[in-house]
Amino acid sequence: MQDDSQVLYFNGTILTVDEEFSIPEAVLTAGDRVVAVGSFAALRKQASPNVRLRDLGGLTMIPGFIDPHGHFPDSGFLALFRVDLAPPPIGDCSSMTAVFDRLSDRLRSTPAGDWVIGARLDPDGLAEGRFPTRDELDRLSDRHPVWIGHFTGHGGVANSAALAFRGVDETTPNPPDGVFGRTPDGGRLNGLLTGPTAMGALGATEFMMNADGFARAMDVASQEYLNEGVTLAQNAYATGPLLEWFRELSEERLDGVERRDWAVHVPVVVLPCGNLGRLPTDGEFGRSRGKVRGVRFGPRKFFADGSLHVQTACLSRPYHRPLNGDPGFRCEPAITVDGMVGRMMPHHQEGSQLHVHVNGDRAADILLDAFARILDRHPRQDHRHTLIHAQTLRSDQLDRIAELGLSVSFFSAHIHYWGEYHRQVSLGPERAETISPARSAANRRIRFTIHNDTTVTPMRPLHLMWCAASRRTTSGRVLGSNERISPKEALIAHTRDAAWQVFEERECGTIETGKRADLAILSANPLVDAESIREIRVVETVLGGTAISNSPT
């Protein structure tokens, strides 16, 4: 019986990223699987007479990129339903006037009473260097609730209607681990909400979404990711509503939404937030590793602190330039060792993997103490618990991570986009040199990944590899040359180890016999020159054996 689904790829540089980092002449696929890797002559002889020959013409093939930490399909939400306020170099919104003009354009086309959501605001990137105020947003409209999210997702500013929706007024005290911003006299709310407990539902904005909007966002985000060679996405903080949409969409039973061809949608690993409690298993609605039409529920997600930008990350030494004017400010932790053990232990005991957001080294001290206690009381082999972002890890903490068998996912894109900010404001020149210390992790044989945290930064894997390998800021400064990793290490971190970090290594992450035919074909070899990686294009993406035509970007 002839197999008409076979494709033989040859005449290019094929980087399998397997353990030997072998570079074969050819790859043979059939259906959604790789069936052989080796010499062109051997694979041509093995292949069906009807095999389709795919001459790479000197291009480079790699495994499809895997997103180790992001918020799919948030980029679809941004494109369809939010006002993008990102300043350069990500966007072009560089002044308060531009912010107000874009919001006004959306307000004019939005029915009274409906929400207008702005996203990716970075006050430091605006000429005025500040957030808009509640009063300024009220002047734009008193007929719409308006909410503008900070690019980190750890804060934002609301107009009066949005504050009323949030249920807070001048008499509402600050919640634990959150702040309701006030005018200089300390009385009236100024619209600024910092921290997840202060933002409440405004932080996720799921209240303004529906099933059809979610499905449309999946379409848009999938095309974006496929254009960049990404063949496995991640939603790293799924609340109850998001989990339900993912589950229903995976079963193609969303009310009012037509059936979609899931062969052209990016599969996604979904991380339920840790406060949801125990979830059903065995593919119903929880931890199952089974493939349910492209959706798999993965690690449980927890938070240890917040963001360096809004200075809710907890540091062992004060911020270089504290935004609140207190020279000793370092953000005191809202977590304790006992508290983190109590929250994480039940999930560890039931066999779940844990991913924990931690940015400050003081919070990391507490988290590592908690993991040490958990693993001492209930040892578990190959748990792959992972620290997410981990931007300010010290050398002694990396030693502990290696001893505990933990993994790390570094937010290496920060080095380029906000390295100068960290050098001048949050950390200062000395500490900024070691932000996202991937080289130090590699030297300790810690398995790590690198991520974009999309939509904080765009889903651009090749640019991310360049960030980790070059460590150049927007000014061209090399920030911490001793923490550079090689292009090869960056590629491994975004493919093989990204699959391993979420227990997907048997299915993807390398080009090997039996694995999914998830491939990216590049315009050049990313291992040749670290400085030129960001100039390389993704020519074609192959998802489960299906070649996807990349749209112009």
* Residue the block writes with tokens 């052989």: 36
* The two structure tokens encoding residue 129: 């260097």
Q: Which two tokens stand for residue 339?
A: 């508290």
Sheet holding 155-158, edge to edge: 83-84, 116-121, 146-150, 155-158, 189-194, 179-182
- Nearest-angstrom CA–CA distance, 453 and 457: 6
Question: For the chain, how many helices (H) and strands (E)?
Answer: 17, 24
| Beta carbons within 8 Å of 489's beta carbon, 6+ residues apart | 438, 442, 468, 469
- What is the pLDDT, as a whole number, of residue 208? 82
Reported pTM: 0.93
Q: Fill in the amino acid letter for 361.
A: D
The per-residue pLDDT for 367 is 98
Both tokens assigned to 142 = 């008193």
Q: What is the identity of the amino acid at 251?
A: E
Query: What region, left, alpha or beta, does residue 111 occupy, with left being phi > 0 and alpha being psi -120 to 50 degrees?
Result: beta
The position carrying tokens 């540091």 is 315
Phi, psi dihedral angles at 198 (to 5 degrees): -75, -40
In degrees, rounded to 5, the angle at the alpha carbon of residue 158 between the alpha carbons of residues 196 and 171 is: 75
- Write down the pLDDT at residue 205: 79
**Short-list 250, 256, 255, 228, CA closest to 238:** 250
User: In one letter, which amino acid is 541?
Assistant: T
Q: What is the DSSP string of 68-94?
A: SS-BTTHHHHHHHHSEE---TTT----
Classify each residue of 246-272 as buried b or exposed e, where b means 16 or more C-beta atoms within 10 Å of its C-beta: bbbbbeeebeebeeeebeebbbbbbbb
At 281 the pLDDT is: 46
SS3 state at 121: strand
Q: How far is it, in rounded angstroms, from Cα 159 to Cα 146? A: 6
User: Which residues, listed in sequence order, are joined to residue 296 by a DSSP beta bridge?
Assistant: 269
**The pLDDT of residue 338:** 98
Instruction: Please give the Cα distance from 169 to 160 (Å, whole number).
Output: 9
Q: Count of residues for the chain?
A: 553
Report yes or no: 152 and 174 within 8 Å, Cβ to Cβ. no
The two structure tokens encoding residue 426: 């949050």
Point out the residues of the chain with pLDDT beneath 70: 1-3, 249-264, 277-293, 549-553
- The reported pLDDT for the residue numbered 251 is 59
The Cα–Cα gap between 410 and 357 comes to: 11
**Could you give the residue ranges of the DSSP H alpha helices within 350-460?**
361-377, 395-404, 413-421, 428-432, 438-443
The position carrying tokens 């996807």 is 548
Q: For every residue of 160-204, which 3-state class applies, written as one string?
A: HHHHHHHCCCCCCCCCCCCEEEECCCCCCEEEEEECHHHHHHHHC
According to the model, what pLDDT value does residue 313 have? 97
Phi, psi of 131, rounded to the nearest 5 degrees: -75, 155
- Residue 387 and residue 406: Cα distance in Å, rounded? 8
Report the alpha-carbon distance of residue 51 to residue 397 in Å, rounded.
52
Residue 350 Ramachandran class (φ > 0 left, ψ -120 to 50 alpha, else beta): alpha
For residue 510, the 8-state DSSP code is: S
Alpha helices in 350-412 (DSSP H): 361-377, 395-404
Whether residue 341 contacts residue 394, with contact meaning beta carbons closer than 8 Å, is answered with no
pLDDT at site 278: 62
DSSP codes joined into one string, 8-61: EEESSEE----TT----SEEEEETTEEEEEE-HHHHHHHS-TTPEEEE-TT-EE
Burial label for 182, CB within 10 Å (0-12, 13-18, 19+), is middle
| Strand ordering across the sheet containing 407-410 | 300-303, 354-358, 386-389, 407-410, 448-450
Handedness of CA 519, 523, 525, 529 (dihedral sign): negative
